[in-house]
Amino acid sequence: MNGEITIKYIDLFCGLGGFRLAIEAAARELGGTAECVFSSDIDEECRRVYAANFSETPHGDITKVEAEAVPAHDILLAGFPCQPFSIIGKGLGFEDTRGTLFFDIARILEAKRPAMFVLENVRLLVKHDGGRTMGRILETLREMGYQTDFRVLNALDFGLPQKRDRVFIVGFREPARFQWPAGGIPMKPLAELLERDVPRKFYASEKIQKTRLKQESRTSEPTIWHENVSGNVRARPYSCALRAGASYNYLLVNGERRLTPREMLRLQGFPEWYKIACGDYETRKQAGNSVAVPVVQAVVRETLKAGVKMLRSEPVRSAA
């Protein structure tokens, strides 16, 4: 990119701004810059935290925003709500109102015709309803003329000590030579992410700790103990996926305590300067709904590399 291009992007269902951190870092890696021209999230607490970190308050409910009112942009970014397709949710897909929010992405793509897009969702979206839900999404995107592909990527392969599988969908308005990032980045040790002095409020009860010890044993190296839906406990040198609606005892450091808000943000790849602007409960929910920044950064970097010719030949029109 050599610095001559400023990527204009929109950040839908923006949450804590993980996509924003990712694209701005990816643009810098390629020698360019990125400018957010529109952001949106229905959650008031997320909008407050986003504003505290980026000095910009996102718009609210995207269903109430006319597509024509969205500024012209080069790339659309969206981690659209995953609950309709999640193993934790009821799995209703498009029968759930939140599932139809994909079509708000589609109407903006149809109206604004950006050169590229990157979408993110839970892994189970791929097989939801026997694959018909993903098929409908891909068909919708391709009918609009976008070259589209998808892949499931794991945060463990991109340096984070968190087992987090997510599906990414990328698309290009014109034919592009896109390659998925390979990953293979060594995992950062848990010891580098965990805080040393943790308030007692994060510790599980003595009863819970004893229950954990009946199933696992502590080691000299830090581990995170994961309790699955069947009640079985396993200790790993990494975290299982952070979840917004999980029980407080779902993940316990060394079988003893819950993760702190800062530790959860670190597990998602957020930088140390990122401000925590709300309480523990809200931050826990927000982190569980967020994206793993290094994974998104790798996908967006490859997307920009593949689409840069389009940007050079047809830069975004500010009046569009």
CATH code, domain carrying 72: 3.40.50.150
Query: Residue 145 is part of which domain span?
Result: 6-186+286-313
Q: How far is CA 30 from CA 150, 260, 300, in A?
A: 23, 34, 11
The pLDDT of residue 314 is: 63
Assess whether pLDDT exceeds 80 at residue 280: yes
Assess whether pLDDT exceeds 70 at residue 87: no
The pLDDT of residue 216 is: 86
Model confidence band, residue 82 (pLDDT cutoffs 50, 70, 90)? low
Residue 266, domain member (yes or no): no
- In the DSSP assignment, the letter for residue 305 is H
Residues 125 and 251 in one domain: no
Residue 74, domain member (yes or no): yes
pLDDT greater at residue 231 or residue 279: 279
Residues 89 and 139 in one domain: yes
The pLDDT of residue 315 is: 54
**Sequence-separated (6 or more) residues with CB below 8 Å from residue 196:** none
The pLDDT of residue 193 is: 97
Assess whether pLDDT exceeds 80 at residue 107: yes
Task: State mean pLDDT over 258-279.
Answer: 97
Vertex 6, ends 320 and 271: CA angle to 5°?
A: 120
Taking the whole predicted model, whether its pTM rises above 0.95 is answered as no
The pLDDT of residue 70 is: 97
Cα distance between residue 166 and residue 132, in whole Å: 18
Cα distance between residue 29 and residue 10, in whole Å: 19
Decide if 108 contacts 74 (C-beta within 8 A).
no
**Cα 281 from chain centroid?**
19
Predicted confidence (pLDDT) per residue in 129-158, tens digit: 888 888 888 988 999 999 999 999 999 999
The pLDDT of residue 166 is: 96
Q: How far is CA 39 from CA 56, 166, 250, in A?
A: 9, 22, 32
pLDDT greater at residue 244 or residue 171: 171
Task: Give the torsion through C-alpha atoms of 159, 184, 165, 272, to 10 deg.
Answer: 20
Q: Which residues are catalytic?
A: 82
Q: How far is CA 90 from CA 81, 82, 135, 217, 286, in A?
A: 13, 11, 20, 34, 20
Assess whether pLDDT exceeds 90 at residue 3: no
Assess whether pLDDT exceeds 90 at residue 204: yes
Residue 277, domain member (yes or no): no
Residue 237, domain member (yes or no): yes
Model confidence band, residue 81 (pLDDT cutoffs 50, 70, 90)? confident
SS3 letters across 110-165: HHHCCCEEEEEEEHHHCCHHHHHHHHHHHHHHHHCCCEEEEEEEEHHHECCCEECE
Selection from 250, 214, 216, 253 nearest residue 237 by Cα: 253
Residues 155 and 202 in one domain: no
Domain count, the chain: 2
Assess whether pLDDT exceeds 70 at residue 200: yes
Among 97-106, 111-120, 178-187, the range scoring the smallest mean pLDDT is 97-106
Residues 90 and 169 in one domain: yes
Residue 203, domain member (yes or no): yes
Predicted confidence (pLDDT) per residue in 38-76, tens digit: 999 999 999 999 999 999 999 999 999 999 999 999 999
Decide if 293 contacts 24 (C-beta within 8 A).
no
Decide if 109 contacts 10 (C-beta within 8 A).
no
Cα distance between residue 205 and residue 211, in whole Å: 10
Burial profile 121-130: b = 16 or more Cβ within 10 angstroms, e = fewer: bbbbbbebbe
Residues 139 and 234 in one domain: no
Residues 235 and 92 in one domain: no
Q: What percent of the chain has pLDDT over 90?
A: 75
pLDDT greater at residue 320 or residue 216: 216
Residues 10 and 152 in one domain: yes
Q: What percent of the chain has pLDDT over 70?
A: 90
Residues 68 and 98 in one domain: yes
Model confidence band, residue 248 (pLDDT cutoffs 50, 70, 90)? confident
Task: State mean pLDDT over 3-24.
Answer: 93
Task: State mean pLDDT over 254-280.
Answer: 97
Assess whether pLDDT exceeds 60 at residue 96: no
Residue 130, domain member (yes or no): yes
Sign of the CA dihedral 41, 44, 45, 49? positive
Assess whether pLDDT exceeds 60 at residue 296: yes
Residues 118 and 255 in one domain: no
Residues 147 and 42 in one domain: yes
Residue 164, domain member (yes or no): yes
Assess whether pLDDT exceeds 70 at residue 249: yes
Cα distance between residue 262 and residue 61, in whole Å: 28
Residues 159 and 213 in one domain: no
Assess whether pLDDT exceeds 60 at residue 317: no
Residues 59 and 204 in one domain: no
pLDDT greater at residue 283 or residue 219: 283
Residue 273, domain member (yes or no): no
The pLDDT of residue 284 is: 95
The pLDDT of residue 172 is: 98
